[in-house]
A and B are shown apart, each in its own frame.
Chain A
Amino acid sequence: MEFAREKASLDIQGLTLSYAGKPALKDLTLRIPRNKVTAFIGPSGCGKSTLLRSLNRLHDLNEDVTREGSIHLEGHDIHDPRVSVAELRRRVGMVFQAPNPFPMSIYENVAFGLRLQGRMSKRRIDDVVEWALKSAALWDEVKGRLRASAWSLSGGQQQRLVIARTLAVEPEVLLLDEPASALDPISTLKIEELIRTLKPHLTLVLVTHNMQQAARVSDYTAYLHNGELVEYGPTDTLFTHPRLRRTENYITGRMVG
């Protein structure tokens, strides 16, 4: 059992989350291994995005959300009152479904997170911006126009810019919430390639509707349904020999309740 021996980056224990009293996640327990790609799949409204957003405490914004259970990042409870939410979110970066570059230049977008961390020399920022754009496989396309508005880029480029922006603050975990669902097939392919090249450097968690995408890029897959964790295991096993009938129905496209 290789899976059991993986070192956990995120350790979720008995997580229950409710929106205004209605449970959205029910007693989830799973460990997300370090330097691997873990995919969450499941039908719309199954709670996979909710789960993802609880990993960087983005739910804190919503006063209606109540939580039970714990999440540990590298052995530390992320809900510990001594933990700074801002620092947690720097360590656990997130890329959203629709590309959301800020209304600034390409350069300023990537430098945004760095500038939040206090004063840094112009040289250092230049270096990090170049490194981040290269890591996100965008450098060659934008190096001549770093001062241009980020909104002048295409959708796929914007999404890679957002990834570069997140990488610039050197997160340990990268959460990807359907990062390619708004993109054309070629841009999607580029994002998937990027996910593969990033894997050795950080832990990736991917939410996707696209079964093939999950199969292509992820090492482990969790299938969620109605806020419950139905099945979780190595992607190869889950897609070829699902233990449960419900999982099989979902991945083969036969939806039965």
Chain B
Amino acid sequence: MKIPGHAAATGASRRWQGEGPWAWLSAAAVALSLLMLGALLVLLATRGLGHFWPADLHQLRLADGQRLIGVPVETRQLPDDSGYERRYFTANRDHQGGIWTWVAEDAIEQDRTPNDLIVLQRGRWGAFFGRLVAVVTETERFGGDRAWQALRQRLDHLEELRQQSESLRRDHILPLIRQMERMKEHSRLSEQLTELEQQALTLQRAMTGTVLVLETADGKRFEQPLESVLDAWHPNSMGSVEKLAHWSRGVWQFLSEGPRDANAAGGVWPAIFGTVLMVMLMSLLVTPFGVLAAVYLNEVAHQGRLTRWVRIGVRNLAGVPSIVYGVFGLGVFVYGIGGSLDRLFYADTLPSPTFGTGGLLWASLTLALLTLPVVIVATEEGLARIPLHQREGALALGATHFETLTRVVLPMATPAMLTGVILAVARAAGEVAPLMLVGVAKLAPQVPVDGEFPFLHLERKFMHLGYHIYDAAFHSNDVQAALPLVYATALLLVLVILVLNLTAIFLRHYLRLRHGVPVRR
């Protein structure tokens, strides 16, 4: 029977009716946490992803006759309350010295968005805002309307040449150089190298020769060699679809390319790759160790005072600050083990170290050590949760302890182990401090996996998203300019951890289904 007036009351509110404010307090706590999480993601997403949106360029004429082209970034009140001033991103570092200009709103006489303004993305000096006057090749000059078309065409061609040159360097020249470092006999290789370098030079030359004639806001003209231009667009005449396409390409380049300009521009692909690879290696190292240790503590060892102390020790290891693990990794792995490895196997390349310096392997090992307690504790809890009658059931069928462990207990504890790995991944992927001691690099554009034997280069330094954030935010020439990339990288780090975790969670879900264990809700 339906009682009138009660239909709207949901389960929770009805259950808690007349029991004071606890229901509301707890709900408010949840809401607040969710709100903070949401705010964090929104901040990172808008600040980070907005950076790639091709914003309209404004051409201003000020009261004092000054002209400038820029993108408004923020507005603030003047100190004497007489009005507002606006900050414009005006680019052109090579012509104005700075890239930001503060303009009082009252001083703006004219504010237009003409269609012929262009943005150039350049290898050095950052972006350029202004007009394209002409494209001059060795034989021809394209002026007026033909200039833009010529520029686009040549940019595409340039991009092709760049890729050829890059693959030549990465796939042929660098491996050859490394080979020469290892070998004594050089003459044949150095011939090869000279030939390859000749090819690279030819490619380089093919890129040069074309010059852009550009005009800045104040009418100054100058020439810009085309080979230093990476991309060009004219935001004011782009439709929303075009802008969206441009934005997607920007995001894709951010994800797929290496950094430029001392990490203040360009992409973060090596950092993504380094982070994921390092976390995966870490999981591969920590899981077997952690599980074996937990099995010993819970299944094999005599449960006495010693195991109790070991347990307390393991749990307390989880609370040791991560930088301490970094120091340990530096002392033991890098200088200790790495140094010995170098003396034993890489003596011919000394004093330049191979394993005796920070690298992927040592970083993964250090983080494995850092997350070991998490895996041990989670696995132990999982093992302890397996009911005694399950073990007895297997033993009563004539299974040995080992068979009981491998066929009944461990499969049932797998979800718990994966929980441990999930926690470990979440902790390790965000850890930066110890990495700075044991192998992260500010710039290592070559990912540690390539087609050269042994394919996975454990001794190489690698880039990491967390460290990249730190580096871009504190060590770039212009922190203001790098800030959007810092936000975008932070968002990416969150997403990478999310993806890694989701993978493990789905795996756990699948295992639970397969072993028939009901999913806990």
**Which A residues are within 8 Å of any B CB, using their own CB?**
56, 58, 61, 63, 86-87, 89-90, 93-94, 96, 98, 100-105, 112-113, 116-117, 149-152, 162, 165-166, 169
24 A-B contact pairs sorted by A residue (CB < 8 Å): A86-B398, A87-B398, A89-B397, A93-B396, A94-B392, A100-B387, A100-B390, A100-B392, A100-B393, A101-B393, A102-B393, A102-B407, A103-B517, A104-B515, A104-B516, A105-B516, A112-B397, A112-B399, A116-B398, A116-B399, A117-B398, A151-B516, A151-B517, A151-B518
- Bound-complex Cα distance A58 to B517 (A): 26
Which residues of chain B are within 8 angstroms of A93 by Cβ–Cβ distance?
A: 396-397
Which interface residue of A93, A102, A117 has the most chain B CB atoms within 10 A? A102
Contact status B407-A112, CB under 8 Å: yes
- Bound-complex Cα distance A96 to B389 (A): 8
Interface: B295 (CB within 8 A) = no
Which residue of the partner chain, among B392, B399, B515, contacts A103 with CB atoms under 8 Å? B515
Contact status A90-B398, CB under 8 Å: yes
Nearest CB of A to B173, in Å: 56
- Bound-complex Cα distance A169 to B403 (A): 16
Contact status B396-A58, CB under 8 Å: yes
Within 8 A of A (CB), among B470-521: 515-518
Q: Which residue of A lies closest to B391 (CB)?
A: A61
Contact status B516-A96, CB under 8 Å: no
9 tightest A-B CB contacts, nearest first: A149-B516, A90-B398, A94-B396, A113-B397, A103-B515, A100-B393, A100-B389, A86-B398, A103-B516
Interface: B395 (CB within 8 A) = yes
A96-B393, A100-B390, A102-B393 given as contacts; is B516 within 8 A of A116 (CB)?
no
Nearest CB of B to A253, in Å: 30
Which interface residue of A61, A90, A100, A117 has the most chain B CB atoms within 10 A? A100
A150-B516, A151-B516 given as contacts; is B390 within 8 A of A102 (CB)?
yes
Which residues of chain B are within 8 angstroms of A104 by Cβ–Cβ distance?
A: 515-516
Contact status B392-A58, CB under 8 Å: yes
Nearest CB of B to A152, in Å: 7
Interface: B412 (CB within 8 A) = yes
Contact status A86-B399, CB under 8 Å: yes
Nearest CB of A to B471, in Å: 48
Which residues of chain B are within 8 angstroms of A96 by Cβ–Cβ distance?
A: 389, 392-393, 396
- Bound-complex Cα distance A105 to B411 (A): 13
- Bound-complex Cα distance A117 to B397 (A): 10
Given contacts A100-B387, A104-B516, A162-B393, 6 further A-B contacts (CB under 8 A): A58-B392, A100-B389, A100-B392, A100-B393, A102-B408, A116-B398
Q: Which residue of B lies closest to A63 (CB)?
A: B302
Interface: B400 (CB within 8 A) = yes
Within 8 A of A (CB), among B345-401: 387, 389-390, 392-400
Q: Which residue of A lies closest to B387 (CB)?
A: A100
Which residues of chain B are within 8 angstroms of A112 by Cβ–Cβ distance?
A: 394, 397, 399, 407
- Bound-complex Cα distance A94 to B515 (A): 23
Nearest CB of A to B301, in Å: 12
Which residue of the partner chain, among B387, B396, B407, B517, contacts A56 with CB atoms under 8 Å? B396
Contact status B516-A113, CB under 8 Å: no
Which residues of chain B are within 8 angstroms of A90 by Cβ–Cβ distance?
A: 397-398
Q: Which residue of B lies closest to A91 (CB)?
A: B398
Which residue of the partner chain, among B390, B398, B515, B516, contacts A89 with CB atoms under 8 Å? B398
- Bound-complex Cα distance A86 to B518 (A): 30
Contact status A103-B396, CB under 8 Å: no
- Bound-complex Cα distance A96 to B515 (A): 21
- Bound-complex Cα distance A61 to B392 (A): 9
- Bound-complex Cα distance A90 to B411 (A): 22
- Bound-complex Cα distance A162 to B392 (A): 12
Nearest CB of A to B226, in Å: 66
Contact status B411-A169, CB under 8 Å: no
Nearest CB of A to B419, in Å: 17
Which residues of chain A are within 8 angstroms of B395 by Cβ–Cβ distance?
A: 58, 61, 89
- Bound-complex Cα distance A113 to B403 (A): 11
- Bound-complex Cα distance A184 to B241 (A): 68
Contact status A166-B516, CB under 8 Å: no
Contact status B393-A116, CB under 8 Å: no
- Bound-complex Cα distance A211 to B321 (A): 63
Which residues of chain A are within 8 angstroms of B387 by Cβ–Cβ distance?
A: 100
Contact status A169-B517, CB under 8 Å: no
Contact status A169-B393, CB under 8 Å: no
Which residues of chain A are within 8 angstroms of B302 by Cβ–Cβ distance?
A: 63
Q: Which residue of A lies closest to B398 (CB)?
A: A90
Which residues of chain B are within 8 angstroms of A150 by Cβ–Cβ distance?
A: 516
Which interface residue of B396, B400, B408, B515 has the most chain A CB atoms within 10 A? B396
- Bound-complex Cα distance A155 to B403 (A): 26
- Bound-complex Cα distance A96 to B394 (A): 11
- Bound-complex Cα distance A93 to B393 (A): 10
Nearest CB of A to B399, in Å: 5
Which residues of chain A are within 8 angstroms of B400 by Cβ–Cβ distance?
A: 86
Nearest CB of A to B235, in Å: 59
A100-B392, A151-B518 given as contacts; is B411 within 8 A of A113 (CB)?
no
Contact status A89-B517, CB under 8 Å: no
Contact status A103-B412, CB under 8 Å: yes
Which residue of the partner chain, among B394, B412, B516, contacts A152 with CB atoms under 8 Å? B516
Which residues of chain A are within 8 angstroms of B403 by Cβ–Cβ distance?
A: 116
- Bound-complex Cα distance A98 to B400 (A): 22
Which residues of chain B are within 8 angstroms of A56 by Cβ–Cβ distance?
A: 396
Q: Which residue of A lies closest to B397 (CB)?
A: A113
Which residues of chain B are within 8 angstroms of A63 by Cβ–Cβ distance?
A: 302
Nearest CB of B to A201, in Å: 18
Nearest CB of B to A11, in Å: 21
A96-B389, A98-B389 given as contacts; is B411 within 8 A of A103 (CB)?
yes
Contact status B389-A165, CB under 8 Å: no
Nearest CB of B to A199, in Å: 20
Q: Which residue of A lies closest to B396 (CB)?
A: A94
- Bound-complex Cα distance A63 to B387 (A): 19
Contact status B396-A102, CB under 8 Å: no
Contact status A165-B392, CB under 8 Å: no
- Bound-complex Cα distance A149 to B393 (A): 17
Contact status B398-A165, CB under 8 Å: no
- Bound-complex Cα distance A112 to B399 (A): 9
Which residues of chain A are within 8 angstroms of B518 by Cβ–Cβ distance?
A: 151
Which residues of chain A are within 8 angstroms of B407 by Cβ–Cβ distance?
A: 102, 112
Nearest CB of B to A58, in Å: 6
Question: Binary interface profile of B, 119-135, with partner A (CB < 8 Å = 1, else 0)?
Answer: 00000000000000000
Within 8 A of A (CB), among B408-433: 408, 411-412
- Bound-complex Cα distance A169 to B518 (A): 28
- Bound-complex Cα distance A86 to B397 (A): 8
Which residues of chain B are within 8 angstroms of A98 by Cβ–Cβ distance?
A: 389
Nearest CB of A to B71, in Å: 60
Q: Which residue of A lies closest to B390 (CB)?
A: A100
Which residue of the partner chain, among A105, A149, A166, contacts B397 with CB atoms under 8 Å? A166
- Bound-complex Cα distance A56 to B399 (A): 13
